[in-house]
Amino acid sequence: MPESLAVRRSPMSATITRVHEVLDAFAARDHSGEILTAVRHFPARDAQWADFPAWVHADLAFCYAAKGIRRLYIHQAAAAETVHAGKNVVIVTPTASGKTLCYNLPVLNEVLENSDTRALYLFPTKALAQDQLAELHDLNQRLQNRFGVFTYDGDTPADARKAIREKSHVVLTNPDMLHTGILPHHTRWTRLFENLRYIVIDELHTYRGVFGSHLCNVLRRLRRIARFYGRDPQFICCSATIANPGDLASRLLESEVEVLNVNGAPAAEKTFVFYNPPVVNRALGIRRSYINEASRVAQEFLKRDLQTMVFANSRLHTEILLTYLQDANPQPPGKPENIRGYRGGYLPNERREIERGLREGKIRGVVSTSALELGIDVGSLDTVVMAGYPGTIAATWQRAGRAGRRRGSSCAVLVASSAPLDQFIVRHPDYFFGNTPEHAFIQPDNLEILINHLKCAAFELPITPRDKFGDVDLPDLCARLAEAGFLHLAGDNFHWTQEAYPADTISLRSVTSDNFVIVDVTAAPNVIGEIDFPSALAYVHEKAIYLHGGQQHHVEHLDFKERKAFVKRVDVDYYTDAVRYTQVRILEVAAASQQTDAVSLGSAHSRSHGDVLVRSQVVGFKKIKFFTNETIGDGKLELPENEMHTTSYWITLERPLLDSLPFTVSERQSGMFGLLQALESVATLLLMCDCRDLGTAIGERPFILRPLKVAVGPSSYSSDPHAVIPSEAKDHASLSITSPFEADCSPARLQDAISSNAKEFFEPNLYLFDAYPGGIGFSEALFRTHALLIEKTRELIAACPCKQGCPSCVGPAGDLAPRAKEAALAILDRLRA
Amino acid sequence: MPATTDRFSRLAALKPTRPIPARPAALLTPGEADSVGRLLGAGVANTHFGEHLAIRNWFSTPEFTEPSCIALELLSRTRNESLSRKTRTALEDPTKWLFLDTETTGLAGGTGTYAFLIGLGWWDAGGLQVEQFFMRDFTEEYSILHELSTRVVERPVLVTFNGKSFDWPLLENRFTMTRSIAAPKLAAHLDLLHPARALWKLRLGSVRLAELERHVLDAPRLGWHRENDVASALIPQFYFDYLRGGPAEPLAGVVRHNQMDLRGLAALFGKINTLLSEPADSANEIESLDLFGLSRFLQRRGDADRAHSACAQALAIGLPAEFRPKARRDLALMAKRRGEHERAAEIWLDMVADLHEGIHACEQLAIYYERHAKDLAKAAQFAKLAVAALRRQRANSRDLLLTARFARLEEKFLQRVARLGRKSRLSSQARPRDARVVAEPKASSGFW
């Protein structure tokens, strides 16, 4: 289904001519019309101008004029006016639309009017703060250093800190530093807090999920301290385009926020192309490697001297792509390398040099991880190639925005991998281009997160009866903390009573900070990486093959006490896949909705969300041969059970629905597992989250008030979808979780057991749960968007050209019963009814 | 609701870090509210901000020590900074002095650490008056801070042990947190930790106050002993336990500990005062290592003459072998700075064979022979000696960083040898009319 290429035949620049040469070449090879699934042309848009507001200080206006800025874009003017009117604001703009002026103008204006004014800028990374520092330094020089601006982060030298606390009008920092370095020492920052007028939060959309839930609590603490010093600061936020910027902002700030969703910045013409690597085996749904294809696409651009940025989704892929492209474009003799890599782990100076090289055009190609997705200034590039879908629509637009930031014409190409999400996106271009980007969710009242921040808050200032911390029941929580020995009630106030400094042990980027280090003991012991606790059980259990930097490692020993995994380099032709056994118990149903009218008993189902207890355990592993994917061995493991209280959304397939399905029991089983996998993929798409943020499980619907017994397959598509559904008989016989495995670990045998059993009473629940203790709000969101989830999942499976299932929809055909794909579709049709 | 109970019991964030002591079940009998006060020998003090407990004791030891001007000058001198007249006047009046030591709820610092016991001491009637303020609960914090503030206004010269970086900043934080009691201004702040470290770290390794009492202050004669002293690390927990209704008895030990720390601090001042004010050569009773420590302290504080004589004396009495090369190196450099080049050269010549200081000695000798003795051949000879020594050390070294450093040094010496060679050729080409000497680059002694 290639779209018409004719739309874009408008007057063209030289760049776009060369871009079109490349596209035409691809189209020519695309006989079946399945490679270029979308070619969209976006015409250039003119700037919409507004004058500087009259209240802007003459010196500031003069200094912007000296930089060549004599007029504002309409969104900049609107932002400045809203801030000037004293309102909280969130500005929604793409990159390169001059958003920094939106906050710098009103903030600096106020500093010039009143030199006591202080402002705090928060950026998600140190690199972004550095980038902004350069811009502010430039403005400051033009203003004869009338204000102080400094970054304050882990790299700030100790002897400079005191001066920064006193002299900095604008402090640029990150949430982590605010959390551990500034708030717990607020008495040293009295100058800042007593005069704190503005808080700028850039890249607001990055604060979603766990990170956002943490930030919301950090802001609660910040505002409490500001109130202590008699201030109620105003917030200025900038966000990339997401579905709910205003909602996210008001949840993070817990106050009213005005949303400015206009953009007056000019845009160059741009072509956006979806590229699906050709199918090499239609029955198995196998496509050509997207990494190789991305490299080929990028090379076509580079060959025509188009400056190109390639995005990969992992460090490893960055390095592979870099190798390919450097091979194809050898370094000119006596000149610096013109294809460079850019990712975390490169030294700051090297990064600065690459950024400069890109701006000056000396570097012709760069391969980057998401590191360049945020607002680092690298100038405008001609083309962007994305190797794999970045995971969210917002991130995709951010990356695409790297091409043609200012003028000229440009092209962005998304090369899809065979993951379900990628395939859904490239086969449904309208979904992507139809302006329905993801929602960002946070759950600041996740108890684990909330209580940790309450500890920090109590450390910072005793908690008084007048204190507010969101809407939470402070006296109750404080009493519990006092009972556990963290706080002590004296008079009306709760005081911190521990020697430890609580912020040090709380990481904003996860719920628990527990992790394992991976030690390579092939030669002298050498730490090669780290892995979080839940993943450790699945990836570095003993005898596992752990992949790091493309190198295989055999796990010799997993030291639970010391949190270390000892590995040795090996070269084998298999990988390992952990067999995880997951049990979900429903604790409390928050909401449920039943679909059982008499007319359509065949569609009888219900959906619910609520609190659950998830117990999971890695009970064994399989050795799987590369390329053929045959299981060549397995083993049992005795690892501790992992218990997590979280929230879940689930669909219950009721008896009449199951009865109406014209499939055998094992086909139904496979259909359900396949369906669950597809549901998960689509859920991550709708929720704007990572696939690791969700867990899946299939269990039996509980009888009323009876604890539920469930067994489940692993959630990733490479894993075995046959994992156990214990029979009704077994369930009654023993509530022990491990019993099926003690009896027999092999899925095939269990499958037999299930099939041979009359499954009369089995009504399955398909669970999608938050993979974080306490939950971070995905479940409720899924419950609300149920209809859309079912609709999009059906589209994903139906549009997949494979015959009996493939990794891009319900899972690889070999792992499933023959009619699994059909069964999944049949269930979906009934759920839609 | 059972689910809710579950939810809290499972939270990692609510797991106690240690067992919580059980609250005693017994009801308080009338008058027992004061039991803590009786236990600590304290009375209830009333201030504008409420109540707290105050404990006052006079001790005959340590005895009053008249601060000597020399000692004060040395103790209060900081780098590139001369004292203002006001500060000096305040310092010289011992009636304005206030010894201070606090017991806190932790060492982490930040806004969540409290000083629950503030101990103060001042000279009175030839001995030491000690006053301690104790908060029975957090509600009494304002009251003890207010009391502290009035005492500091009366006696604005603070004397502490590590109080400059810990106790006083912490108290300043506490004052800021009240938003109503301003932190009092200090006229001067003498902190004895750094002088004590300079003087006794070499000998003792650790300069904790209790160590100093035992090994420096002659503990048996002090008038108190630390046999049943509480361990500092346990103090926060004693207080937390007491707050939660646990036993108050351990707090009596904490109060005593604080008293001993204050008396130790005052005694330590006496000791340092004596050491710094006596002419070094009369200090016969001083151990050689302490003399060397004194010499290093005096060097740092810019009293070169006394530093020199203390060092010479330490060597004369006899230092342990491990410190001798360092002391000789110091002595030679001090001699050089005093212009006694021949004397310095003698010491260096003695050190040439030393493993650690030999290369330094060679470098200094090369400079000495080139500039002062004007013997270029000898200068070159010592530079070559250093090169040979460096090569030996490099061959034996397994440490990559060290090896690289040796290589850099070797390069420098080779350059020196080459330059000396050129210079000697130049001067031998008899050009008496224009005997220009090649400019000498700055000596690299700073590198050491």
For B324-336, write each residue's pLDDT tens digit. 888 889 999 999 8
Statement: residue A408 has pLDDT above 80? no
| Whether residues A237 and A291 fall in one domain | no
**One-character DSSP codes across A385-454:** EEES--SSHHHHHHHHTTBTSSSSEEEEEEE--SSHHHHHHHH-HHHHHTT-PPP----TT-HHHHHHHH
Would you state the torsion angle of the CA atoms of residues B319, B325, B328, B329, taken in this order, to the nearest 10 degrees?
Answer: -150
**Mean pLDDT throughout A415-438?**
80
Q: Choose between A672 and A524: higher pLDDT.
A: A672
| Whether residues A531 and A607 fall in one domain | no
The per-residue pLDDT for A738 is 28
**Mean pLDDT throughout A547-572?**
82
| Three-point CA angle A505, A507, A509, nearest 5° | 170
Ranges in chain B annotated CATH 3.30.420.10: 37-277
Task: Give domain status of residue A486, yes or no.
Answer: yes
Q: Beta A605-625 vs A631-636: how paired, if at all?
A: antiparallel
Statement: residue B447 has pLDDT above 90? no
**A interface with B, Cβ–Cβ below 8 Å:** 184-188, 190, 228, 447-448, 451-452, 455, 458-462, 480-481, 483-486, 488, 490-491, 493, 495-502, 512, 587-588, 611, 613, 643, 645, 773
Chain A residue numbers with beta carbons less than 8 Å from the beta carbon of B179 are 228
pLDDT category at B35 given cuts 50, 70, 90 is confident
Cβ atoms A671, A765 nearer than 8 A: no
For chain B, give the secondary structure using H, E and C: CHHHHHHHHCCHHHCCCCCCCCCCCCCCCCCHHHHHHHHHCCEEEEECCEEEEEEEEEECCCCCCCCCHHHHHHHHCECCECCCHHHHHHHCCHHHEEEEEEEECCCCCCCCCCEEEEEEEEEECCEEEEEEEECCCHHHHHHHHHHHHHHHHHCCEEEECCHHHHHHHHHHHHHHHHCCCCCCCCCEEEECHHHHHHHHHHHHCCCCHHHHHHHCCCHHHCCCCCCCCCCHHHHHHHHHHHHCCCCCHHHHHHHHHHHHHHHHHHHHHHHHHHHHHCCHHHCCCCCHHHHHHHHHHHHHCCCHHHHHHHHHHHHHHCCCHHHHHHHHHHHHHHHHHCCCHHHHHHHHHHHCCCCCCHHHHHHHHHHHHHHCCCCHHHHHHHHHHHHHHHHHHHHHCCCHHHHHHHHHHHHHHHHHHHHHHHHHHHHHCCCHHHCCCCCCCCCHHHHC
Q: Which of A499, A504, A589 should be substituted to probe chain B, the one whose Cβ sees the most B Cβ atoms within 10 Å?
A: A499
**Mean pLDDT throughout B35-39?**
86
Task: Give domain status of residue A577, yes or no.
Answer: no
Statement: residue A526 has pLDDT above 90? no
Chain B residue numbers with beta carbons less than 8 Å from the beta carbon of A460 are 111-112
Average pLDDT, chain A: 81
The minimum CA-CA distance between A637 and chain B, rounded to whole Å, is: 26
Statement: residue A153 has pLDDT above 70? yes
Q: Beta A118-122 vs A170-173: how paired, if at all?
A: parallel
The minimum CA-CA distance between A558 and chain B, rounded to whole Å, is: 23
Q: Find tokens 């704007």 and name the residue.
A: A688
A-B CB pairs within 8 A amount to: 102
The per-residue pLDDT for A342 is 83
User: Among the listed ranges A90-99, A313-322, A506-515, B285-294, which one has the minimum average pLDDT value?
Assistant: A506-515
Q: Which residues partner with A586 through β-bridges?
A: A612
Q: How far apart are CA A677 and CA A715, in angstroms?
A: 7
Using CB atoms, pick whichever of A484, A587, A773 lies closest to residue B16: A484
Q: Find tokens 């009213």 and name the residue.
A: A256
User: Among the listed ranges A242-256, A539-553, B429-443, which one has the minimum average pLDDT value?
Assistant: B429-443
Structural domain of A563: 515-572
For B252-273, write each residue's pLDDT tens digit. 999 999 999 999 999 999 999 9
Using CB atoms, pick whichever of A461, A491, A500 lies closest to residue B111: A461
The per-residue pLDDT for B1 is 41
pLDDT category at A795 given cuts 50, 70, 90 is confident
Q: How far apart are CA A728 and CA A760, in angstroms?
A: 9
Q: How far apart are CA A343 and CA B247, in angstroms?
A: 57
Q: How far apart are CA A219 and CA B345, in angstroms?
A: 67
pLDDT category at A500 given cuts 50, 70, 90 is confident
Closest of A193, A79, A164 to residue B179, by C-alpha: A193
Q: How far apart are CA B52 and CA B42, in angstroms?
A: 10
Indicate yes or no: CB of A228 within 8 angstroms of CB of B16.
no
Q: Choose between A600 and B346: higher pLDDT.
A: B346
Statement: residue A343 has pLDDT above 90? no
For B321-353, give the secondary structure using H, E and C: HHHHHHHHHHHHHHHHHCCCHHHHHHHHHHHCC
Q: Please compute Rg for chain A using Cα positions.
A: 28
Q: Which residue of A has its CA nearest to B138?
A: A490
The minimum CA-CA distance between A746 and chain B, rounded to whole Å, is: 33
Chain A residue numbers with beta carbons less than 8 Å from the beta carbon of B108 are 499-501
Exposure of B6 by Cβ count < 10 A (0-12 exposed, 13-18 middle, 19+ buried)?
A: middle
Statement: residue B386 has pLDDT above 60? yes
Task: Give domain status of residue A510, yes or no.
Answer: no
Indicate yes or no: CB of B107 within 8 angstroms of CB of A497.
no
Chain B residue numbers with beta carbons less than 8 Å from the beta carbon of A645 are 6-7, 10
pLDDT category at A174 given cuts 50, 70, 90 is very high
User: Among the listed ranges A80-94, A248-262, A724-738, which one has the minimum average pLDDT value?
Assistant: A724-738
For B172-195, write each residue's pLDDT tens digit. 999 999 999 999 999 999 999 999
For A755-780, give the secondary structure using H, E and C: HHCCCCCCCEEEEEEECCCCCCCHHH
For A428-458, write each residue's pLDDT tens digit. 888 788 756 677 778 888 888 899 999 999 9
Statement: residue A109 has pLDDT above 60? yes
| Whether residues A388 and A293 fall in one domain | yes
Chain A residue numbers with beta carbons less than 8 Å from the beta carbon of B181 are none
Crossing angle of helices B341-351 and B358-371, rounded to 10°: 140
Q: Beta A409-415 vs A694-700: how paired, if at all?
A: unpaired
Number of domains in chain A: 5
| Whether residues A304 and A174 fall in one domain | no
Q: How far apart are CA B190 and CA B94, in angstroms?
A: 12
Report which DSSP code applies to A616: E
Indicate yes or no: CB of A448 within 8 angstroms of CB of B11.
yes
Q: Please compute Rg for chain B using Cα positions.
A: 30
Q: How far apart are CA A422 and CA A416, in angstroms?
A: 5
Chain B residue numbers with beta carbons less than 8 Å from the beta carbon of A642 are none
Indicate yes or no: CB of B6 within 8 angstroms of CB of A587.
yes
| Whether residues A562 and A595 fall in one domain | no
| Whether residues A112 and A243 fall in one domain | yes
Report the percent of chain B where pLDDT is more than 70.
88
Report which DSSP code applies to A523: S
Q: Choose between B350 and B33: higher pLDDT.
A: B350
Report which DSSP code applies to A182: I
**What are φ and ψ of residue B63, in 5° steps?**
-80, 155
Using CB atoms, pick whichever of A481, A491, A512 lies closest to residue B139: A491
| Whether residues A589 and A712 fall in one domain | yes
**Mean pLDDT throughout A676-688?**
84
Q: Which two tokens stand for residue B408?
A: 């850099």
CA-to-CA separations, B279 to B196, B217, B288, B313, in angstroms, rounded: 19, 20, 15, 12
The per-residue pLDDT for A636 is 87
pLDDT category at B242 given cuts 50, 70, 90 is very high
Indicate yes or no: CB of B14 within 8 angstroms of CB of A451.
yes
pLDDT category at A92 given cuts 50, 70, 90 is very high
Amino acid at A359: R
Indicate yes or no: CB of A498 within 8 angstroms of CB of B20.
no
**What are φ and ψ of residue A346, in 5° steps?**
-80, 150
pLDDT category at B431 given cuts 50, 70, 90 is low
Would you state the torsion angle of the CA atoms of residues A12, A16, A19, A25, taken in this order, to the nearest 10 degrees?
Answer: 0
Indicate yes or no: CB of A496 within 8 angstroms of CB of B112.
yes
The per-residue pLDDT for A774 is 74
Q: What is the CATH number of the domain that holds A180?
A: 3.40.50.300
Task: Give domain status of residue A199, yes or no.
Answer: yes
Task: Give domain status of residue A265, yes or no.
Answer: no
Q: Decide yes or no: CATH 1.20.58 for domain B352-429+442-448.
A: yes
**Mean pLDDT throughout B75-90?**
74
Q: Choose between B26 and A362: higher pLDDT.
A: A362
**Mean pLDDT throughout B46-53?**
93
| Whether residues A792 and A653 fall in one domain | yes
pLDDT category at A762 given cuts 50, 70, 90 is low
**Mean pLDDT throughout A299-320?**
85
The per-residue pLDDT for A722 is 35
| Whether residues A456 and A555 fall in one domain | no
Indicate yes or no: CB of A501 within 8 angstroms of CB of B137.
no
**Mean pLDDT throughout A559-580?**
84
Q: How far apart are CA A202 and CA A506, in angstroms?
A: 23
For A619-656, write each residue's pLDDT tens digit. 888 887 765 666 788 888 888 887 788 889 999 988 88
Closest of B314, B317, B421, B325 to residue B377, by C-alpha: B421
pLDDT category at A1 given cuts 50, 70, 90 is very low
**Mean pLDDT throughout A375-391?**
83
| Whether residues A668 and A632 fall in one domain | yes
Q: How far apart are CA A826 and CA A487, in angstroms?
A: 56
Statement: residue B417 has pLDDT above 70? yes
The per-residue pLDDT for A739 is 27
Report the percent of chain A where pLDDT is more than 70.
84
Q: How far apart are CA A630 and CA A653, in angstroms?
A: 32
- What is the end-to-end Cα distance of chain B in Å, rounded? 72
The per-residue pLDDT for A629 is 60
The per-residue pLDDT for A573 is 79
Cβ within 8 Å of residue A58, ≥6 positions away: none
Closest of A667, A683, A661 to residue A804, by C-alpha: A667
Closest of A184, A133, A183, A140 to residue A155, by C-alpha: A133
Cβ atoms B137, B105 nearer than 8 A: no
Using CB atoms, pick whichever of B3, B12, B15 lies closest to residue A587: B3
Q: Which two tokens stand for residue A300?
A: 């076509």
The per-residue pLDDT for A691 is 65
For B99-126, write each residue's pLDDT tens digit. 999 999 998 888 999 999 999 999 999 9
Q: Which two tokens stand for residue A637?
A: 């493991």
Cβ atoms B145, B119 nearer than 8 A: no
Report which DSSP code applies to A344: B
Chain A residue numbers with beta carbons less than 8 Å from the beta carbon of B6 are 587, 613, 645
- In a 3-state reduction of DSSP, which class is residue A620? strand
**Mean pLDDT throughout A563-591?**
84
Task: Give domain status of residue A440, yes or no.
Answer: no
Statement: residue A690 has pLDDT above 70? no
**What are φ and ψ of residue B377, in 5° steps?**
-60, -45
CATH number for the domain formed by residue range(s) B37-277: 3.30.420.10
**Mean pLDDT throughout B158-172?**
95
Statement: residue A757 has pLDDT above 50? no
Cβ atoms A380, A270 nearer than 8 A: no
| Whether residues A816 and A791 fall in one domain | yes
Using CB atoms, pick whichever of A186, A448, A587 lies closest to residue B13: A448
**Mean pLDDT throughout A804-829?**
80
Amino acid at A779: S
Ranges in chain B annotated CATH 1.20.58: 352-429+442-448
- In a 3-state reduction of DSSP, which class is residue A335? coil
Q: Which two tokens stand for residue B402?
A: 């060290």
The per-residue pLDDT for B100 is 98
Using CB atoms, pick whichever of A452, A497, A512 lies closest to residue B105: A497
The minimum CA-CA distance between B163 and chain A, rounded to whole Å, is: 17
Highest mean pLDDT among A165-179, A279-293, A574-588: A165-179
Q: Choose between A37 and A10: higher pLDDT.
A: A37
Q: Which residues partner with A533 through β-bridges?
A: none
Chain B residue numbers with beta carbons less than 8 Å from the beta carbon of A452 are 13
| Whether residues A251 and A298 fall in one domain | no
The per-residue pLDDT for B302 is 81
Indicate yes or no: CB of B111 within 8 angstroms of CB of A460.
yes
Indicate yes or no: CB of A490 within 8 angstroms of CB of B106.
no
Statement: residue B168 has pLDDT above 80? yes
The per-residue pLDDT for B430 is 55
Report the percent of chain A where pLDDT is more than 90.
33
